[in-house]
Structure 1
Amino acid sequence: MDKLLNPKLKIMADENMPMAEAIFSRFGDVELYAGRGLTAEQLSDVDVLLVRSITQVNQALLEGSRVQFVGTATIGTDHVDKQFLQDQNITFANAPGCNADAVVEYVLSVIYQFADKYQFEPKDRTYGIIGVGNVGGRLQKRFEKLGFNVLLNDPPRAESEEGFSDLDTLLEQADILCLHTPLTVDGNHPTKHLLSTNPLQKLRKNSIVINAGRGPVIDNAALLQIGQQRSDLLFALDVWEHEPIVHAELADRCEFVSPHIAGYSLDGKIRGTYMLYQALCEHLQVECEESLTDFLPKAELSYKEQGSLTALELMTLIYDPQVDDKLLRATLDLPGKEQELAFDQLRKQYRVRREFASLTVADAKNPKELLALGFQLAD
């Protein structure tokens, strides 16, 4: 007998996981919840828990429940006590790479915005990527296709591979620093406060720091201090050390700010939900009946009249970081609890955002650059 039909499962999914009901309804009843406020009482009769990064999954949340499968529709897993899940024989899955392209495109958009405002050619700068995993690795590939000079820092990989720089070298030589490490607090290479006072003092003149990874990888107080000491430095922060509270003074010192939405493309979100569907099928030992394309929007954006636009103008048609910057700044004068709620509302009510590959350009004057960025070219 099909174990999906007898009995059906009770599934709880974060309300910010698009298509969760459509994708998982095959297995049973799907109930949506607010990710930051989930309680143990809500999970007493739940079989499958699907979360995003704002939900802390640990013994306090799960003890006494009947949850047997936990999935997070994120690359990172620092919000999940994986050892507890293993000890309780609870199957765990994440979604590595699901929104990597969206984060890469956020970073590229910010870089091109900086280049436009401060009048430099992106290809004339040296880029440093800290953390060369799913996101950092894809960013490296796009940088290289664009002809950018790239330095890489990833101590765990450097133990067995060549081609990596130590942190001091990267900080001293890179003009634009991109952080994409997971958040770790122990082991041989902890990343919490990886950039604290001493490393930040080594930033070269006119450096740009972009963090679209994990907030606590940068000591936010130290970043503000170095920013106050050096007017030549530029910052773009999508993640914050004490989310959902944003350090207002630090935000004021940043060129671009946003509420942890770098990976919030519709494509990436649905891809993450679908990857958990695949993992649950494997856990239940059943075939996946649907493919990812069954759930992705069918319509492709097509701008056949836009071949004369610059790369930045085409990027802005898909994603404009200035929109998120204005929305977040409008919340920073709110008192603490209201600011927290506003931060989460910006994420919950996030506009539909596609990835560069959803846009097709005809008669492009810069086809090589557009292909390297990720756009499609019309035949």
Structure 2
Amino acid sequence: MRIVADENIPGLEGLAASVSADLRRLPGRSITATEVHNADALLIRSVTRVDAGLIDSAPRLRFVGTATSGHDHIDRQRLMDRGIAFAHAPGSNARSVIEYVLAAIAETDDFLERLFAGGRVGIVGYGNIGQRLGRCLDGLGIDWSVSDPWKEPAGIPNAAPLAHVLSADVVTLHTELTEAMPFPSCHLLNRRTLACLSSRTLLINASRGAVVDNIALRGRLDAVDAPLAVLDVWENEPMPDTDLLARLRFGSAHIAGYSWDGKLLATRMLLAEMAAALSITPPVSQSEAAPALDVAAGHTDSAGFVRALLSQRYRVAEDDRLLREAMHAAQSAESKGRAFDSLRRSYRQRRELAGSAVDGRRFNNNQRRLVTSLGVIIEDGAG
């Protein structure tokens, strides 16, 4: 069996031993029709476009899997027409993205304090990540509202018109990228809708780059009443608009969902689906516990305590520094693209808060609630 896989997908080492696979690992943007011509299975991430041309060039192809929640980069209809099994990994990176969003809030001015003091988060898109973020905010005691026109309002808690969601203290985008009518999300935030953001708003995009009109956002950030903005995703990746980057509070190289835990979960999900589709024995995948957290109970305020927890695992400022340095060093658009991809390819092993353990013997009841809401395990037996 021949398998072509994105080199950024971890946990595939057991494939060769378990199914006698001929595994070829390539950079995601280098996976072309030529590379998959003799492949039985294709495992990718979001940077590989699986269109009709690529699909039709692979007569042996029986399975395509993407280790991502989204699948707008794949022609699913063509796969169905060819009888090729498909799988993605919905929710695998949800915790990673949520922790990225919370870290961005915690590292930007006093936004976290404002939210705990009665502020509101506006969520655009109520899929896997939007739903889990809402539940996390409920646990933290932070108010939120959500807009998703593709879902019935009766089935969405805290549903609100987009204009109301955009009036929140923090606006975070978690919609799929689609041009489908009647509710296309491409350039959902454009010159008109960006005007709804006030100077006291923090905008975070960790969904798809084209959900925000990057040129319009650059202009909005030059205004006297400009909001603050954090972008993990960009139009025209892997070559981000460096003039826009200069105007952001934080920017990163499409790594919000790149936690080690999320990547391994996505791999396990894909391998299970591939084994079922191809009638093979699923390979054994390993996982390891994250190091225990070391958070003092001395933070009496909720914002300070949560900020201390988040910083134990992740700081957006570090990825912002790496991106700015890489873009500054690159001399051409092509070299910027290579540098952007290199940041993703060589991304450090980042562990999640969720599933981590902490000694909570000195925590008060509020701290225990906050810890639990973030998915952290209290080990003293009292939580």
Calculate the TM-score normalised by the size of structure 1. Answer: 0.91
Structure 1 residue 155: deviation in Å?
Answer: 0.7
The one-letter amino acid paired with 1:328 is: L
Verify: 1:303 aligned to 2:297, yes or no.
no
Corresponding residue SS for 2:203: strand
Change (3 A) 1:268 1:226: same
Change (3 A) 1:289 1:259: closer
Moved more, 54-63 or 356-365: 356-365
Matching residue within 344, 354, 358 for 1:357: 354
The one-letter amino acid paired with 2:293 is: Y
Query: What is the alpha-carbon distance in structure 2 between the residues aligned to residue 351 and residue 212 of structure 1?
Result: 19
Change (3 A) 1:58 1:223: same
Contact in 2 for aligned 1:127/1:176 (Cα 8 Å): yes
Structure 1 residue 378: deviation in Å?
Answer: 2.1
In the alignment, which residue of structure 2 is the partner of 1:4?
Answer: none
In the alignment, which residue of structure 1 is the partner of 2:61?
Answer: 67
In the alignment, which residue of structure 2 is the partner of 1:378?
Answer: 379
In the alignment, which residue of structure 1 is the partner of 2:105?
Answer: 111
Structure 1 residue 282: deviation in Å?
Answer: 1.7
The one-letter amino acid paired with 2:353 is: F
Corresponding residue SS for 1:356: coil
The one-letter amino acid paired with 2:257 is: G
Verify: 1:318 aligned to 2:313, yes or no.
yes
Matching residue within 121, 125, 128 for 2:114: 121
Query: What is the alpha-carbon distance in structure 1 between the residues aligned to residue 281 and residue 34 of structure 2?
Result: 32
Corresponding residue SS for 2:2: strand
Query: What is the alpha-carbon distance in structure 2 between the residues aligned to residue 126 and residue 24 of structure 1?
Result: 49
Give deviations 1:83-118, integer Å, cap 9, x for gaps: 1111111111111111111000100111111245x6
Contact in 1 for aligned 2:220/2:226 (Cα 8 Å): no
Structure 1 residue 137: deviation in Å?
Answer: 0.6
Query: What is the alpha-carbon distance in structure 1 between the residues aligned to residue 139 and residue 316 of structure 2?
Result: 23
Give deviations 1:294-352, integer Å, cap 9, x for gaps: 5111x331135744463212211200111100000012232111110000000010001
Query: What is the alpha-carbon distance in structure 1 between the residues aligned to residue 112 and residue 27 of structure 2?
Result: 43
Matching residue within 173, 176, 191 for 2:170: 176
Q: CA RMSD in A?
A: 1.9
In the alignment, which residue of structure 1 is the partner of 2:26?
Answer: 33
Verify: 1:344 aligned to 2:341, yes or no.
yes
Verify: 1:198 aligned to 2:192, yes or no.
yes
Corresponding residue SS for 1:122: helix
Contact in 2 for aligned 1:178/1:210 (Cα 8 Å): yes
Moved more, 225-234 or 75-84: 225-234
Query: What is the alpha-carbon distance in structure 1 between the residues aligned to residue 146 and residue 105 of structure 2?
Result: 17
Contact in 2 for aligned 1:183/1:192 (Cα 8 Å): yes
Q: Which consecutive residues of structure 1, in runs of 5 or more, have no partner in the other structure?
A: 1-8
Query: What is the alpha-carbon distance in structure 2 between the residues aligned to residue 68 and residue 155 of structure 1?
Result: 35
Change (3 A) 1:24 1:77: farther
Change (3 A) 1:305 1:73: closer
Query: What is the alpha-carbon distance in structure 2 between the residues aligned to residue 287 and residue 364 of structure 1?
Result: 45
Change (3 A) 1:205 1:303: closer
Moved more, 120-129 or 133-142: 120-129
Moved more, 35-44 or 321-330: 35-44
Matching residue within 323, 327, 332 for 1:328: 323
In the alignment, which residue of structure 1 is the partner of 2:161?
Answer: 166
Structure 1 residue 23: deviation in Å?
Answer: 4.7
In the alignment, which residue of structure 1 is the partner of 2:4?
Answer: 12
Contact in 1 for aligned 2:176/2:185 (Cα 8 Å): yes
Contact in 2 for aligned 1:175/1:207 (Cα 8 Å): yes
The one-letter amino acid paired with 1:295 is: Q
Superposition pairs for residues 254-265 of structure 1, below 5 Å?
254-265=248-259
Corresponding residue SS for 1:49: strand
